[in-house]
Homo-oligomer: A and B are copies of this chain.
C-alpha cells in the first residue's frame, strides 16, 4: 500500500497535479502492480551515441560502415558547442560564505549526476544497442530510400482529439522531449510544426506487452529526432496542459526512429521557445540570443512561434494576391540583374555580368512602370529587393521581400489609395480570421497588443475608412503635441523615425487605429519621378502608410510626361542621359499611374508587434550576415 501510494504521488506529480485519488481511479487494475516508479526525482539520461547518424550503414550499400563511423566521430568535433548561457548560469556564483557552501554542494551533486548518467549510459549501451530493430515493436529504421510504397494511414497531431479515443494511429513527428521515469515507464512529447501531443510508454490495457528493452532504447533517443509512433488514443482524466492536444494522449505501442538528432544541440528548443513573460519573472532563465538563433536557424525555425510567424508571412502574400487578382491585376516577374542602378547608385550591389558591369535591382519600380507602358495596366510582383545599406537597425535588411504593385488611374491618385486601403484591410482581416491560432501562438512567446484596424463609422456603410492625413496636418498634430524637431519651413522636412512613432500614437489616440496613410509629402523629400502637387509645388502627389507608427509603404503618382520628368531630373541634378531609356518609355503614350512597394517582413513584424525584422525573415541578410 505504501508502495502504491508513493507511486501514485510520484505519478501524480508528473501528470500535472492530479490528485492521488483521481489517479487511482484512472488507473486500470493491470497498471498497479506493474508500475515501479522510483521515489526520487529521476535524472534524464540521454545516451550519447558515438555515431548516431550512421544508420545508413545498416544498408547494403556501404561495406565500410565502421570506417565511416570513425569519420563521423571526427566530424563531431565540428558540432556547435553548448550555448554559453549554460556555462554562465552554472559559474555565476558570488564569493559569500553561503554561496561557497552552495557551490560545494552543487559541485558534489553535479559529480554524482554525471556519474549516474555515465553508469546509466554505459548500462543502456551495453544492454540495448543503439541501432536495434525489433520488427513491429521498436528500433532504428533503415534510412528511408524509397524501397516500399507508403500504404500506411497517417494521422496529423493537430487532428487527434477526443473523438479518436480508442483508435490506434500512426504519426511521424519530432520527439520534442522524453522523460524516462523508470525502467517501465517513459513520457514523451511529439511535435508536428505547431502541434504537440503527449505519449506514454508503459504497459497498460492498450499496450499489454511493452518490452523493457523498448523503454531502455526509447530513453536513448535524442530530442529532435524524427520518430514513427503507433499509439492508442486515450483520454487522460486531467487535460495535458503542456501540449496543444490537451484532451488526449497516446499510449505508445510501436516506436521507431527515422532520423536521429545529434546528442548535443546548439541550444534547447525549450529555451528558444520561452515566453518573454517568463524572462520577466525570472531573468536567470537561459536566454538564446538573436545571433545564436540565426546561426542555427534550422533549429530556431522549429519553435512554435517561428512556425506561426512564417505561416502568417505566407498568408500575407496569399491575401495580397487574392485581393489584387479580384481587382484584375496581373502578376509579373521583372529582372533583378540590371545594366544600371535602379534608383540611386550608392545603395546598389554591383557585379560583373559577363563582360559588362551590372547591379542588383533595388526596386522593381521602373520595370513596373515600363510594363504599364506596355499596356498591362494593373500589375503586381512579389520578389526580392536588394539594398546595399550599411546600417544595422531593427528594421532594415539588405535583402527583403517586396510586395509591389502599380496601376493606371483615370484622374486622381486617390483611386490607387482606394485600392490599397481595401487591400490592406483585406489582408489584416484575413490574417485575423485565418491565422487566429498562429497569431495567438506568436503572442504567447512575444506578447503584444492586437493590431488595431479602423472600425466602420457612421456613414461608412460597414466598410471602415482608413485615415488619410495630409503631411501638413500631421506636422500640425506633432507641433500641437509639442514634439521636438519640427521646423517652421517644412518644404524640405521629412519625419524622423521617432516623430513617425509619435505621430502614430497621436493618430491612434484620435482615430483608434494602428494603420493610417500620410499623403502629400514635401516634393523635395521624395524621388525625382514623384508628381508635383499641381496646386502647390512645395508638395507632391505622394503617400506613406504606417503600421504601429512605422512606415511600411512608400509610393506616389509617378510623372508620366517625359518633358516634366526631364525637368524634375535636372532639378535634382541628375544626368538625364543615364535615365534616357526610362524617360523614353513615356514617349510612346503613357497612362497616368501610381503604385507602391511594401516590405513583407516589416508588415509581418508590425502586425505582430515584434521588435526585430530579423524575426520575420527566414534567413536574414544584413551587412554582417550572409549565412546561413
Interface residues of A (CB under 8 A from B): 53-57, 59-62, 68, 71-72, 75, 78-79, 143-150, 152, 154, 172, 174, 191-193, 222, 224-226, 258-262, 265, 297-302, 306-307, 310-311, 313-314, 317-318, 321, 325, 330-340, 349-354, 356, 358, 360, 367, 370-371, 373-377, 382-384, 386, 388, 390, 398-399, 401, 409-415, 531-535, 537, 541, 557, 560-564, 566-567, 580-581, 584-592, 600, 618-619, 621, 623-624, 626-628
**Residues A148 and B412 in contact, CB atoms below 8 Å apart:** yes
**Residues A146 and B411 in contact, CB atoms below 8 Å apart:** yes
Q: Which residues of B contact A624 (CB under 8 A)?
A: 354
Instruction: Give the Cβ gap from A285 to chain B, nearest Cβ, in Å.
Output: 23
Instruction: Give the Cβ gap from A507 to chain B, nearest Cβ, in Å.
Output: 23
Q: Which residues of B contact A564 (CB under 8 A)?
A: 56, 61-62, 143
**Residues B62 and A567 in contact, CB atoms below 8 Å apart:** yes
Q: How far is A226 from B587 in the complex, measured between Cα atoms in Å?
A: 11
Q: Which residues of B contact A147 (CB under 8 A)?
A: 411-412, 534-535
Residue of B nearest to A531 (CB): B145
Residue of B nearest to A366 (CB): B628
Q: Which residues of B contact A75 (CB under 8 A)?
A: 562, 566
**Residues A589 and B261 in contact, CB atoms below 8 Å apart:** yes
User: Which of A60, A71, A541, A619 counts the most chain B CB atoms within 10 A?
Assistant: A619
Given A409-B150, A591-B172, also A534-B335 (CB < 8 A): no
Candidates B260, B307, B557, B563; contact of A146 at CB < 8 Å: B557
Q: How far is A561 from B262 in the complex, measured between Cα atoms in Å?
A: 12
- Could you list 19 A-B pairs, sorted by A, with CB under 8 Å? A143-B560, A145-B592, A146-B414, A148-B412, A154-B410, A192-B377, A193-B377, A261-B588, A297-B370, A299-B374, A301-B371, A333-B384, A334-B619, A336-B386, A349-B351, A351-B351, A354-B624, A356-B626, A367-B619
Q: How far is A384 from B562 in the complex, measured between Cα atoms in Å?
A: 31
**Residues A144 and B226 in contact, CB atoms below 8 Å apart:** no
Candidates B301, B317, B321, B337; contact of A386 at CB < 8 Å: B337
**Residues B412 and A375 in contact, CB atoms below 8 Å apart:** no
Instruction: Give the Cβ gap from A69 to chain B, nearest Cβ, in Å.
Output: 9
Q: Which residues of B contact A339 (CB under 8 A)?
A: 626-627
Q: Which residues of B contact A541 (CB under 8 A)?
A: 145-146
6 nearest A-B pairs in the assembled complex, by CB-CB distance? A301-B374, A351-B351, A261-B589, A150-B411, A314-B331, A145-B534
User: Which of A61, A331, A399, A413 counts the most chain B CB atoms within 10 A?
Assistant: A331
Instruction: Give the Cβ gap from A607 to chain B, nearest Cβ, in Å.
Output: 16
**Residues B626 and A353 in contact, CB atoms below 8 Å apart:** yes
Q: How far is A260 from B386 in the complex, measured between Cα atoms in Å?
A: 35
Instruction: Give the Cβ gap from A348 to chain B, nearest Cβ, in Å.
Output: 11
Residue of B nearest to A54 (CB): B563
Q: How far is A78 from B584 in the complex, measured between Cα atoms in Å?
A: 9
**Residues B351 and A411 in contact, CB atoms below 8 Å apart:** no
**Residues B145 and A557 in contact, CB atoms below 8 Å apart:** yes
Q: How far is A294 from B468 in the complex, measured between Cα atoms in Å?
A: 41
Instruction: Give the Cβ gap from A318 to chain B, nearest Cβ, in Å.
Output: 7
Q: Which residues of B contact A321 (CB under 8 A)?
A: 318, 321
Instruction: Give the Cβ gap from A364 to chain B, nearest Cβ, in Å.
Output: 10
